[in-house]
Amino acid sequence: MTDTLRGPDGLDRCAWVGDDAEYRRYHDEEWGFPLHGDRALFEKMSLEGFQAGLSWITILRKRPRFRDVFAGFDPELVASFGPDDIERLMADAGIIRNRAKIEATISNARLLLEMQPGELDAFLWSFAPLEWPRPVSFADVPATTPQSEAMSKALRKRGFRFVGPTTMYALMQSAGMVDDHVEGCWRAAELH
């Protein structure tokens, strides 16, 4: 597989996008862009947790339904979910029906409420490296880094679940804490 792929619009993108229009939009408008805010990062952390063991395109296609059933990822509302809500979510074919991941999302919302406003944002971003080398190819993109391992360990120490180092590296990529657009990708050229 080559590291970039030319889209129907003539732009070269990271090849993982393939020919899927929604993936192109996500790549062009979200992936690698700095994301801030406790609620936005809670959503991203939750969705990355649901993605564990699955492809991101599966989550991306289900994201509107996730937002509906998880009250827009409002931590206060999600933290109030009880057993009936868990059963409601387990019955919803529009999301990933994994009890452990659903319960982790609710538990993580409760932990977030114990933090001061803005604390999750500052905490997660504290693990972002000051400099990040542009990957020349996908072979240069790691699955984990010392920073994602440290983030995972610190989150688990606080009680957060489904926050392993690979999942947290995916969060770092998607939230723009690192920029893994490969050389030759039009986004890499724009972000230089």
Does residue 56 have an active-site annotation?
yes
The length of the chain, given as a count of residues: 192
Q: For residue 12, what are the β-bridge partners?
A: 6
User: Pick the catalytic residue: 16, 23, 43, 48?
Assistant: 48
User: Pick the catalytic residue: 30, 56, 149, 183?
Assistant: 56
Cβ atoms 41, 128 nearer than 8 A: no
For residue 19, the SS3 value is coil
Distance from C-alpha of 78 to C-alpha of 19, rounded to nearest angstrom: 35
Do strands 4-6 and 12-14 pair parallel, antiparallel, or not at all (unpaired)?
antiparallel
Chain-centroid distance, C-alpha 36: 12
For residue 4, the SS3 value is strand
Does residue 22 have an active-site annotation?
no
User: Pick the catalytic residue: 26, 103, 125, 149?
Assistant: 26
CA dihedral 14, 95, 34, 128 (to 10 degrees): -90
Cβ atoms 142, 16 nearer than 8 A: no
Catalytic residues: 26, 48, 56
